[in-house]
Chains A and B, each alone.
Chain A
Amino acid sequence: MAAGIRSPHTLLDIKGLRTQFGSGRNPVNAVQGIDLQIGAGEILGLVGESGSGKSVLALSILRLIQSPGRIIGGSILFDGKDVLAMSNRELSGWRGRDIGIIFQQPQSCLNPVRRIGWQVAEPLRQQEKLSRKAAWDKAVTLLRSVGIPAPEEKALAYPHQLSGGQAQRVMIAVALALRPRLLIADEPTTALDVTIQAQILELLRDSCRDFGTSLMLVTHDLGVVARLADRVAVMYAGRIVEEGPVAPMLTAPSHPYARGLLDAAPRLGQMGGLRLRDIPGSIPDLSQPMPGCAFAPRCELRANLGLSACLGELPPFIPISEHHAARCWALPQADGIYSTPMTMGTRA
C-alpha cells in the first residue's frame, strides 16, 4: 500500500472548500479554497505552521465548525455522499461510524466524569446497538489492542488517572471503535513527550493498516510526516501550496514555503553548531484580502528573482511531476519547468 500514491478509490474529495470566522466587515478566511483528495487506505500528511488553517480544515471536514465559524463554499464528498448537504441526523450516523477524529490534547477530550470503559463503550451502544455487557467487553478488547495494560481494571479508571500517552491510546480506541473508514488525527502527538510520540505514531499507523482506515495526519512536525505519510500536502494561510508523494516533498520541495519549513526543522547530524534557518515574518492577517500568493511578503525567492506577479495574482498549481504540484509563480523561472496551469481537481 505504501508504494501506491493514490489508490484508485477516492474516499474523501474536497473541492474549493472555504471556511470563514466572524462576521461584519472583516471576517477571517481561515480556509480559502482547498482542493484535496484522500484515497482508501492512504495516509496523508497535512503540514503547516500554527495558524495555517490545518485544524479548521480538519473540523470543517467533519462539519464540527461552531459559530461564529461557518463553511461558506465548496464541496466535500465522502465516498460520493455530499457531506455539506447532510442533515443533523445523517451527520450523527456518519460521524464515528465512517469518520473519526482525534485531537491534540487527549486528556481534555475525554469526559472527566465518566469511566474510560464507558467512553469507549458508549458509541458502540449508540451506533451498533450493542448491549451494555457486550459493549463493555468490546471496549476492554479495544483498550487491550491499543496497548493499555490491564485493560479490565483500566476500563474502570477516570481520565485524570491516565498519563497523556495512555489518554491518547484511549482516544485512538474510542475513535477506531466503530472502524471508521477515515481517521483525522489533529496533532495527535504534539502534547506528548518524545518517547511516547513514537509509540503513538506506530500505534496509529498499525491500527489504520489493520482496519483499512485512511488517515489524515495534521501536524507541524515533518519528522512525524516522514515516518507515516504516503503523501504530503503543505498548507499556508488557508491554502494548500504544495502537494506530492512523501519522498520528493521531504527531500526536494519546490514551494519556497515548503523549503523553508524543511530548513527550519532540526535534523540529526547537521547540527554541528549551525543555527536553524527560520522563515522571517509571520502568517498574514487572514481578514485582509490577498489577491496574490499569501507567502509572497515573506518569500526570499521572490525578492531574489524580483517577481511582481506574486503580490498581484494567485499562482495556479504548477505540476512538477505526475502527482506533485506547487502553487508558485517562481517555479517556471527557478527550475526551468513550465506547464499549463491546472487545478488539483482535474489532476485527480
Chain B
Amino acid sequence: MSTVVLEEPIVAIIPRWRVMAGKLLRNRAAVVGGSVVLALLLLAAFAPWIAPYDPFKINPVQRLKPPSFQHWFGTDEVGRDLLSRIIFGTRYFLLICLITASISATIGTLLGLIAGAGSALTDSIIMRIIDILLAFPYILLVLVVVAILGPSLWTGMAAVGIAGIPGYARLVRSSVLTVKREDYVTSARALGASDAEILFGTVLPNVMSPLIVYLAFATPLSALIASALSFAGLGTQPPAPEWGAMLVNSRTYLFSAWWAVAAPGMALFISIFGMNILGNGLRDVLDPRS
C-alpha cells in the first residue's frame, strides 16, 4: 500500500463528554440546578443519618410548634418533625421521578422509534393511538388510570407515567423522521446494517440530545402531578412523608400554622425549579446549534 503524504492539521482530541461537562459547569443556572439535584440525591441516600427525628414519631406535646432550634421547620398537627419528614420525602420525590420517567420515556421512545422508522401504516396506527391519549386533558387521563387501578403510590406513578408517554413518542418520532434521511443512515445501510442495528445503533444515539432535554423538563412536571394526586388523596396515602400528602394534612392549619404548609410546598418548589433550570442548562449544552 502506498503511503500518502499528509498536510492536514491534526485536530486535538478531547472526549465529547468532557467538552459537554466543561460547558455545563460554565452555565450558572445549570450549576445551581445541578446542585439542587445533587442535594436531593444525597438527602435521599443518607436520610436516616441526616434526619434529626423519626419522621413517623408522633409527639402530641409538640404539635404545631413553629420553627425553632429543636425543630428547624416546626412540627405538624401530630407533633412530627417537619424537617425529618421533608428529608425522608426526598426519597418519595426521587422514586416518583425515576418510575414515572422510566415508564414514559421507555414506552414513549420505543413507540416513537417504531412510528418514525416503520411503514406508513405502523406510523398511522401508533400516532392515532397517541392522538387519542392526547385528546384527553392530561389530569383527566391520570385520574382515569387511577380510577381503574385504585389509589396508591404505585398506581399514581403508573398513571402519571402512562400520561407522559405521548410527549416522548411525538418528540422521538419527529427526531427519527429527520435523522433517518441523513447520509450516515444510508451509509450504515450500505455497510449491511440491519433495520434493528440502524434503529438502535445509529438513529437512537442521534435522537438522544432532545430526549435528554425533554426528560429533564418532563420529569419534574410528572413529579408535580404525582404530588397533586397525593394531594387529592389518589396517590401516596398518609402517613407516608410524601410532600403532596403532607400538604393535604396541613392545609386546614394554613392560617394558624403556616410552616406546616410552607415546608413541603417549598421543598416541592425548590426541587422542581432546580430540575427545570438543570434542564435549561442541558438544552444549551446539548443543542448542536449552540
Contact = CB atoms under 8 A, between A and B. Distances in A.
Contacts of A277: none
A236 B13 CA distance: 45
Nearest to B207: A113
Nearest to B209: A113
A95 B190 contact: yes
Interface string A178-209: 10000000000000000110010011001100
B191 A147 contact: no
Given A108-B182, A112-B184, A202-B2, A92 B192 contact: yes
Contacts of B5: 199
A93 B206 contact: no
Given A111-B184, A153-B13, A166-B8, A100 B191 contact: yes
Interface string B1-32: 11111111111110110000000000000000
Contacts, number: 106
B257 interface: no
Contact of B11 (A91, A103, A157, A196): A157
A96 B190 contact: yes
Contact of A126 (B1, B193, B205): B193
A202 B197 CA distance: 33
Contacts of A105: 183
Contacts of B11: 157, 161-163
Given A147-B4, A202-B4, A101 B197 contact: no
A126 B190 contact: no
Contact of A88 (B2, B190, B195, B205): B195
Interface in A202-235: 202-203, 206-207, 210
A259 to B, nearest CB: 34
B124 interface: no
Interface string A81-119: 000000011011111110011010100111111100000
Interface residues of B, number: 34
Contacts of A165: 8
A101 B206 contact: no
A42 interface: no
B186 A123 contact: no
B239 to A, nearest CB: 47
B202 interface: yes
B4 A199 contact: yes
B150 interface: no
Contacts of B8: 149, 163, 165-166, 196
Nearest to B8: A163
Nearest to B9: A163
Contacts of B197: 126
A109 B4 contact: no
B208 interface: yes
A178 B197 CA distance: 18
A172 B121 CA distance: 37
A262 interface: no
B187 to A, nearest CB: 4
A95 B191 contact: yes
Contacts of B206: 111-113
Given A123-B193, A149-B10, A165-B8, 17 more contacts: A62-B190, A88-B194, A93-B192, A94-B192, A96-B191, A103-B187, A111-B202, A113-B16, A113-B208, A147-B3, A154-B10, A156-B15, A161-B11, A163-B8, A163-B9, A196-B8, A206-B2
Interface of B: 1-13, 15-16, 182-184, 186-195, 197, 201-202, 205-206, 208
Nearest first, the 5 A-B pairs at minimum CB distance are: A96-B192, A96-B191, A95-B192, A109-B187, A108-B183
24 contacts: A59-B186, A64-B186, A92-B194, A93-B192, A96-B192, A97-B192, A108-B183, A108-B184, A109-B183, A109-B186, A109-B187, A111-B188, A112-B206, A113-B16, A114-B205, A123-B193, A145-B1, A147-B6, A149-B6, A157-B11, A157-B13, A163-B9, A171-B187, A203-B4
